[in-house]
A and B are shown apart, each in its own frame.
Chain A
Amino acid sequence: EVQLVESGGGFVQPGRSLRLSCAASGFTFDNYAMHWVRQPPGKGLEWVSGITWNSATIAYADSVKGRFTISRDNAKNSLYLEMNTLRPEDTAFYHCTKDVGPGSWGWFDPWGQGTLVIVSS
């Protein structure tokens, strides 16, 4: 069974940093692109960032470009999101999700339960 388990969320002040992790299991991690998608409580879905199987292609939403960095460690079956200069509007559940293929981009399936990031003073 494919499992994606996020961690690293929490309460942080504006301007500070946070690093999210996603532990993947149940599939051959380095065969698939991966993504981060966020959802503010009670609101819609926003794609944040994606990374291909070999990290050759990385993309970001304009709203996080220059502040967030996605990375992966295929040896550890893990996906990461380094978030710097956080803003209140970054408050959301952050979901790790698996792409259908190795390259850029397909549909997303499945999704992790998410980790909540709250940015507030």
Chain B
Amino acid sequence: DIQMTQSPSSLSASVGDRVTITCRASQDINNYLAWYQQKPGKVPKLLISAASTLQSGVPSRFSGSGSGTDFTLTISSLQPEDVATYYCQKYITTPPTFGGGTKVEL
């Protein structure tokens, strides 16, 4: 099975900071990668599909990039409402595995 490794597992940043989260696949997954945001006490919300396609309604400060095995989620200017745990997920093949998550705190 393809493993998904996120780093860091947690980070602390200030409002306005640029935040970058990395997700690495153990094999080439092309661009079959999604990013989810899970705020405390809430269910996961889809942010990005196909590695870089921002979902409707998601603020433009969020962006995704990468292909193959290395991917990044970037928050260009961290806002208080962005405090959450972020998960990457590879899809298309079974199992559709999630990364371990990155907790973003202020």
Contact = CB atoms under 8 A, between A and B. Distances in A.
A114 B43 contact: yes
Interface string B62-103: 000000000000000000000001010101111111111100
Contacts of B96: 35, 47, 50, 105, 108
A12 interface: no
Interface of A: 35, 37, 44-47, 50, 59, 61-62, 95, 100, 104-114
A99 to B, nearest CB: 9
B22 interface: no
Contact of B44 (A45, A50, A104, A106): A45
B95 A61 contact: yes
Contacts, number: 62
Nearest to B92: A105
A114 B93 CA distance: 24
A106 B101 contact: no
Contact of A111 (B34, B43, B94): B43
B5 interface: no
Given A44-B87, A45-B44, A109 B98 contact: no
Contact of B101 (A44, A107, A108, A114): A44
B19 interface: no
Contacts of A61: 95
Interface residues on B, range: 20 to 34
A59 B89 CA distance: 16
Given A105-B92, A107-B34, A107-B89, A47 B44 contact: no
B29 interface: no
Nearest to A109: B46
Contacts of A59: 94-95
B49 interface: yes
Interface string B50-68: 0000010000000000000
Contacts of B1: 62
B87 A108 contact: no
